[in-house]
């Protein structure tokens, strides 16, 4: 069993870090009012507003902010300002034992997938795949349901995803249960062959991505296929793949055809259409907890992520 972090309480202070690219500062400032509505105080990491090319500070600075927030006993949870690129550059230098000994909420997605996977593997920690401050919360498009999903941090709650949220499509029928793992497909593929490659054995694999046209998604799924990651899973949850229209050539397989090519013959339940990822609403989920995918009834049930 993974370690579930303690639930947040009103009045708690959360740490804000930027492990990847520089966040939009205006959106970040706007997002703080939402944290106030949740009853939370906040503390910026020392280097959150740093800019080092396409990175939010040097690798050492971004790593220091992550370590500082886990070490600080006054910080009860950590929410990432944004994604982009760069968290994998320092993942091999993270003190993962520190996270295991100081379990806290870590909330983010996209590039943060690399941190989710590493902490799941080596800190044995449940983490949260959810909308970030500058890239989601601070924008006009931030959806009411996305906001509501933060409540899972304040009390242990089972999550239920049905077609009441979005239309779902079953690629392969059946029912499967297992630990929910995964995240951004590009980041999962880039971890293959490293000590941080996702463990899908006996697990439900969740994938999402943004801005990748069908041939790119094809290549990423092929990477997972050849690494044995698809056939080892007990079920596959396909989240949002936004901005995936072909740009380079007119002749193309559709995204649906690509998904079918890689998942339809695995003999495990596969459902697509979940609004989890670079989308609004963004249904936030804990990673590392037990979940049940019912492809017959098109439902996903996820156990609580906090204690």
Q: Any idea which residues carry the catalytic annotation?
A: 110, 208, 278
**Computed over its alpha carbons, how large is the radius of gyration of the chain?**
18
Of 279, 287, 284, 277, the C-alpha closest to 110 is: 277
d(CA 216, CA 118): 24
CB-based contacts of 113, cutoff 8 Å, min separation 6: 129, 182, 183, 184, 187, 188
CA 66 to chain CA mean position, Å: 17
Report the C-alpha gap between 25 and 184 in whole angstroms.
Answer: 24
- Dist. CA 74–CA 70, nearest whole Å: 10
Are 268 and 174 contacting, i.e. CB atoms less than 8 angstroms apart? yes
Give the phi and the psi of residue 236 in degrees, each rounded to 5. Answer: -130, 130
Owner of token pair 């949260």: 128
Q: At what angle do helices 255-263 and 214-226 cross, to 10 degrees?
A: 10
């Amino acid at each position: 069993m993974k370690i579930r972090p303690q639930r947040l309480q009103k009045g708690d202070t959360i740490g804000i870090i930027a492990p990847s690219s520089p966040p939009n500062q205006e959106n970040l400032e706007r997002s703080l009012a939402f944290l106030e509505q949740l009853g939370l105080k906040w503390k910026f990491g020392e280097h959150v507003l740093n800019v080092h090319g396409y990175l939010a500070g040097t690798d050492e600075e971004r790593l220091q902010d992550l370590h500082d927030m886990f070490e600080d006993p006054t910080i009860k949870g950590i929410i990432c300002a944004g994604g982009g690129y760069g968290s994998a550059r320092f993942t091999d230098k993270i003190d993962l034992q520190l996270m295991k000994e100081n379990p806290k909420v870590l909330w983010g997605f996209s590039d943060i997938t690399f941190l989710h996977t590493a902490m799941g593997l080596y800190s044995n920690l449940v983490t949260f795949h959810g909308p970030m401050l500058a890239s989601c919360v601070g924008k006009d498009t931030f959806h009411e349901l996305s906001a509501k999903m933060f409540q899972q941090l304040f009390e242990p709650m089972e999550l239920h995803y049905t077609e009441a949220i979005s239309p779902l499509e079953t690629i392969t029928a059946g029912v499967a249960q297992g630990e929910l793992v995964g995240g951004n497909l590009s980041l999962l593929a880039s971890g293959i062959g490293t000590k941080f490659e996702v463990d899908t054995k006996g697990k439900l694999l969740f994938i999402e991505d943004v801005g990748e046209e069908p041939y790119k998604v094809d290549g990423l799924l092929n990477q997972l296929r050849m690494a044995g990651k698809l056939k080892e899973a007990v079920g596959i949850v396909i989240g949002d793949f936004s901005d995936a229209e072909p740009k380079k050539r007119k002749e193309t397989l559709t995204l649906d055809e690509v998904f079918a090519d890689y998942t339809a013959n695995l003999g495990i339940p596969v459902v697509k259409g979940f609004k989890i990822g670079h989308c609004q609403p963004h249904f936030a989920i804990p990673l590392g907890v037990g979940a049940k995918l019912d492809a017959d009834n098109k439902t996903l049930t996820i156990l609580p992520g906090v204690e």
